[in-house]
Structure 1
């Protein structure tokens, strides 16, 4: 298993500067944010892609994932990460999410990323039933899966508290309907803990679906607020051991976007906490 750090904690820095800092702190990989100011696909000129790849080569950093979940570039007043969502009542508005995802898939292929992650359907609108939302999510996602298939690029769904798919049983129900080998799970251990699904109890059950992990801690209240690993209530030793038992050898990406005022401090504290657990 290898440790990576998500660039979404470094929104006050360029992607090149972020790559340099993450590498110097000691991570092997970086999750690239497909959003401003790092790699918003709709506005990414070829020279910017070249600069990003050059920085990765220079600092010998691999890409753990392309994060196509957050959409700060749209600046939606309702919430800057979840909107536009896959299930927005306005079809023209949710098309922004669909087309962004297609572009993120193409960007991932261009820069040599292993996969992308996306939101699990978005929040239900007033009066919207879950069955209606599932139907809309399915219809919007299918054109993206065609692009994913053409590129052989996996598209990972990340369950999230307060969105359409919060829990693992909901994820399993939906992906069975999709029936695509390119759809996988981004197992966010903090999100699981928030909805009462302690991660160490679910790792083995979800192992056949899990392609990538997000790591962050959560307080005992189970409130969805990302904390530096070791500061909350998640049993990281048990979770890492459970992951080890599944023979997973991929990326564990630390995601600490609330720490953008001091991202180096957060990234350093996280790696100092996690490395001894991985070395056991």
Structure 2
């Protein structure tokens, strides 16, 4: 299943993301719950899915810096709301980032809490790889607890994001090898190794996205492959459409289930 993240069309809305996904023949959509008010409304998201006849494969919980007040400020409450939306729209994965360092109480019980959430909801809470924040070209600052690399913790389900791997200067294939069958979800994108979270069209960066997809094929990966790219520099809808089309074609060309 090759899906499109609604984040890929920002600053256009979630409604536009569904329209792009339908017109370009994507298999499904991942909804990033964010500052777009529509993305926060379960009924509206379900209506978009029904209207475009596109399934929703995952809900991305609002755990970014700029979404800290979306659905309140309680991090566990956000995950509960994400699970409720996932159940309502038929998604089987909730994507979540590890806690920030300053969320100490949340972080202290995070690993066990995620396991408990999975048991109580029947959903996969796929913890995403993040990255050290660069204080200098040679020095990174750990901003996540218990850590940015989910392969070092006992999570049952995880997400690998190639743009985040680029910032961390780590191989996504090696991370996937460490995770084994705990790899449940993929954010297919790319990065140059810059400290910026670039989310390039796959194939335009230095992460060997082609090799990563070929590795997934070789181990018979059965999770979701979600295109999560940055198209903010597109000056027209035609340019955005072209980037989304190129990303779709790249995924289907290099991944063989």
Q: Would you say how many aligned residue pairs link Structure 1 and Structure 2? A: 241
SS at match of 1:203: helix
Q: Which moved more, 1:3-12 or 1:158-167?
A: 158-167
Contact 2:189/2:209, CA 8 A, preserved across alignment: no
Cα root mean square deviation, aligned: 3.1
1:110 aligned residue: 88
* Partners of 1:247 and 1:222 in 2: CA distance: 32
SS at match of 2:246: helix
TM-score using structure 1 length? 0.74
> Which has the bigger relative contact order, CA under 8 A and spacing at least 6?
1
* Partners of 1:5 and 1:22 in 2: CA distance: 6
- After superposition, residues 61-210 of structure 1 pair within 5 angstroms as 61-70=54-63, 79-81=65-67, 83=68, 95-122=73-100, 124-125=101-102, 133=104, 136-139=106-109, 146-161=116-131, 162=133, 163-164=143-144, 167-168=148-149, 171-175=150-154, 183-210=156-183
2:39 aligned residue: 39
* Partners of 1:258 and 1:59 in 2: CA distance: 22
CA displacement at 1:52 relative to structure 2: 2.9
* Partners of 1:276 and 1:245 in 2: CA distance: 14
2:255 aligned residue: 278
Contact 2:166/2:193, CA 8 A, preserved across alignment: no
In the alignment, structure 2 segments of 5+ residues that lack a partner are: 134-142
* Partners of 1:202 and 1:55 in 2: CA distance: 35
1:65-119: CA deviations, max 9, x gaps?
1011445xxxxxxx415x46xxxxxxxxx95222111111111111110110111
In the alignment, structure 1 segments of 5+ residues that lack a partner are: 72-78, 85-93, 126-131, 177-182
1:168-225: CA deviations, max 9, x gaps?
3xx244336xxxxxx4111112212321221123322212211100111101546432
